[in-house]
Structure formats: structure tokens, C-alpha cells
Chains A and B, each alone.
Chain A
Amino acid sequence: DAGVIQSPRHEVTEMGQEVTLRCKPISGHNSLFWYRQTMMRGLELLIYFNNNVPIDDSGMPEDRFSAKMPNASFSTLKIQPSEPRDSAVYFCASSSRLVGRDFGPGTRLTVL
């Protein structure tokens, strides 16, 4: 199993641009999570899906952030327009109820 796959691994963009982060969860996992990690705020849960349905998006910072999961094997996190304060490492993780959470390698986003 390749584990959770995220792309891109690094993204540098300019303020105001749209950013799309992608995630492929582990096959068979029915829950998918998006986290953001910064020095100031640590690891924050942004949103999570169960069986492709968004369950809790209370961690999404504002309307500039949106997430979708069109099928069991793919999810996106979009920021439009991006701002410098969005610079962080964004992790995708997946799990089933029987196992611990598996994290992807993360996407390091830098917004200039």
C-alpha cells in the first residue's frame, strides 16, 4: 500500500492566486481529514469526511477555504484567494474505525 498520497509536496504562489491541494486516501479507509500545521497554532483539524460526506467543517478558517471529496479515492482542499497567512503545512489523513489515522507527507504551502 502506498499510503496516503498528497500533491503537490511544495507549493509557492502569490497572494490572490487560487491554490488546490490534492489527496488520495488509503484504499478501504472511509474517513478523510484535512489538517493544517503552523508554528503558532500547531495542528488544526480543518474538515473531515465520512464516506465522502463532510461531517465537520468547523475548523475551516473562512469562506476562502473549501474542500470536496467527489469519490472515495480523492479529495481536494482549495484556497481562493490565497493570503500570506495561509502559509503552512497541510496534511491529509485517512482512517477506518478499526485503525489509527494514517497521515500523508504533507504539502508545504508558501504564499508570497
Chain B
Amino acid sequence: AQTVTQSQPEMSVQEAETVTLSCTYDTSENNYYLFWYKQPPSRQMILVIRQEAYKQQNATENRFSVNFQKAAKSFSLKISDSQLGDTAMYFCALRGGGATNKLIFGTGTLLAVQP
């Protein structure tokens, strides 16, 4: 079975600082995909960043980057230069590489950016 674990229910960071959100996962597959989604108060689920397991290079999208440790099954999200608009719930998600196409979510981390 595939599982995703986010051990930080809530985090807080000062504006302009850097914060790292943790995620660990478990899967028996060798080829899979990992995602971070952001859910602001509007409830919209927004894809922040994705990582293919076969790629060793960590994905980066502007101020968002990941630290993908395949052997440790760890997939943390780093947000640099935090902005007030980054305040949201962040979900880590795992999708198997096979035909199943199911996306498994963690329980989320609520990030509050303080002015």
C-alpha cells in the first residue's frame, strides 16, 4: 500500500524567511510521482511543484524547491522568501507510475506566514 505522512500539522514563519515542510512516503514502486499542493482559504487546490522519481535533480519553481531523498523516501518542500500569500494548507501527494493513476494525499501542514 502507498502512504504519505506529513508530521507537522502546523508551522509558522516570518515574512521573508525560509521554511521547510516535511513529507515522507512509502511505496513499493520504483517509478512514481510526488507533488506538493497548496490550498489557501479559498479552498482551491493549486499544484505547487512536482517531482518524477526517476529524476535525481530536485525540482524548483521560483521560490519553491524540493529536497527529494529517494532512498529515505523523503520529499520536503522549501519555501524561500516567504510571503503573506503563502499562508495556506500544504499537501504532499504521491502517484504511482502504473496505470492506476491514483493520487494519495498526506494530512496536510497548515503554514502561517507572519508579517
Contact = CB atoms under 8 A, between A and B. Distances in A.
Interface in B76-90: none
Contacts, number: 44
A106 B101 contact: no
Contact of B50 (A43, A100, A106): A100
Contacts of B104: 45
B35 A48 contact: no
B74 interface: no
A56 interface: yes
A100 B101 CA distance: 11
A43 B106 CA distance: 8
Interface stretch (B11-19, B24-32, B39-47, B63-71): B39-47
B contacts with A: majority SS:
loop
B43 A97 contact: no
The size bracket of the interface on A is 20 to 34
Interface stretch (A20-28, A75-83, A88-96): A88-96
Central interface residue in B37, B42, B43, B104, by most chain A CB within 10 Å: B43
Contact of A48 (B47, B50, B91, B101): B101
A56 B100 contact: yes
B47 A102 contact: yes
Interface residues of B, number: 20
A31 to B, nearest CB: 6
Contacts of A56: 100, 102
Given A43-B91, A48-B102, A101 B47 contact: yes
Interface string B91-103: 1000000011111
Given A43-B105, A95-B101, A105-B44, 5 more contacts: A43-B91, A45-B104, A56-B100, A103-B46, A108-B43
Interface of B: 35, 37, 42-47, 50, 91, 99-108
19 contacts: A31-B101, A33-B103, A43-B105, A43-B108, A48-B101, A50-B99, A55-B100, A56-B102, A89-B43, A91-B45, A95-B101, A100-B50, A101-B47, A101-B103, A102-B47, A103-B44, A105-B42, A106-B43, A106-B44
